[in-house]
Each structure stands twice: as C-alpha cells, then as structure tokens.
Amino acid sequence: MRWIFYSLLVINLVYVGFQLVGSLSPESASLNLSEPRHADDERLQLLAERPQPRSGGEAGVPSGSLCTVVGPWKNQERAEAGAVQLRAIGLAGSVRSLSVQKDRLNWVYLPPYAGRARALQVLRELQDHGIDSFVVKNGKDANAISLGYFSSAESAEGLRVKMRNAGYPAFVRETSRNVTEYWLYLSDSSVENNPDLKVFLEANQSLNVSKVSCL
C-alpha cells in the first residue's frame, strides 16, 4: 500500500510541474518583462503635438510699422494751426504731445552745505584760487556750489578729480530739462516726397519731417 501512496505523490508533483512550465511560456514572459506603460504617456504626447502659438502679427497689426510725423511745435495752438494748413493741402493728421529731455549736461558741484554762511565762505576760497563758481540759491540743491556744466563727460570728470585733489569733495551729475513738444502724425505714412509738404517745411524752418513708431 505504501508504494501506491508514493506513486500518486510523484504523479501529482509531475502534473504541478507541467502547469508551472506552461505559465512561463515565451509569450507570457515577454508581456511580464515589457516596460510598464504610464498613464501620462498619452497625455504627454498630445501636449507635445499641440500646435504652438505664433509670435507677432496675430491681431493683424503689422509689427514695427512707422508713421510720418511733422514737428516739433512748442505749443499745442501752433501745432493745431499747422495741422489746419497741412489739411488744406490734403495732408490730414492728428496732433500729439511728447515729453522729451533736452540740454543734457554734466554738472560738477560741491554738495549743499549746512548753512549759507559756510557756502559763501567756501565760495570765496574758490574764487581766490581763480575757480569760477557760484552758490545755488533755491531748490533741493540750495547752498551747493556749482563749478560748471560740461557737454563732455570727460571734461566734467577731469574737473571733479582736480577739485578732489585740492581737498574739495566734488561730484558730477547728469542734468537735463523736460520739454513738451507737439508733433503732427500724418494719416498717410508715405508723403515724405510730397512737393506741397516740402514747400510747407521751407516756410517753417524750425520744423522737420521724420519717421517714428506708430503708437
């Protein structure tokens, strides 16, 4: 009876072995060893294939377009009068104001002193040495001593160094003044060679024609 028991046990082990071998077939193994598929793969691919927006010109406005302008006038009344004259010869446009900085200079100065008496004392010292200077009377630089204005930055720096070597703490600052100008923006941007416009400019020597960005 014992040998029958062992025979059945061997047969069962062989059967289980066949079942395990079948589950590890090449097709199953290839599926199990393949790289896992991420849920984001398809979404990332779609984002990469999505058309990108084109830069510039989407709104139908040409980039970098230029307008022809005439000017400058010092006040709006004269600019409007000039616009009427040009409109009479077929050159219509609109007057616009523009803030510009003019008279850019390099100012050499001694910073404001605590009181006017001290500033006048230093001023006399400078003038005794033949240095042209004056005391600023008003504004945020009151009681400062002006040593001169220069269009050349190199000249201003030279005087600053000279004054420092003499024991005076001079500084250099760029100065300018804001000026409001008035320009006529012409509707037609291709009128530079218009003969009537040339006659108008010859009669108004302070004006000129130029190209600027259409804002």
Structural domains in the chain? 66-101+179-213 (3.30.70), 102-177 (3.30.70.1070)
- Cα dist. 30→22, 34, 36, 38, 67 in Å? 14, 6, 12, 18, 70
pLDDT of residue 212: 86
pLDDT of residue 78: 94
Q: What is the CA radius of gyration of the chain?
A: 43
Rounded Cα distance, 43 and 49, in Å: 10
**pLDDT by 10-residue block (mean), the chain, 215 residues:** 55 56 45 39 40 39 72 94 93 90 91 96 95 94 96 95 96 91 88 88 92 81
pLDDT of residue 154: 95
Give a three-class secondary structure readout of the chain. Answer: CHHHHHHHHHHHHHHHHHHHHHHCCHHHHHHHHCCCCCCCHHHHHHHHHCCCCCCCCCCCCCCCCEEEEEEEECCHHHHHHHHHHHHHCCCCEEEEEEEEEEEEEEEEEECCCCCHHHHHHHHHHHHHCCCCCEECCCCCCCCCEEEEEECCHHHHHHHHHHHHHCCCCCEEEEEEEEEEEEEEEECCCCCCCCHHHHHHHHHCCCCEEEEEECC
pLDDT of residue 34: 37
pLDDT of residue 87: 93
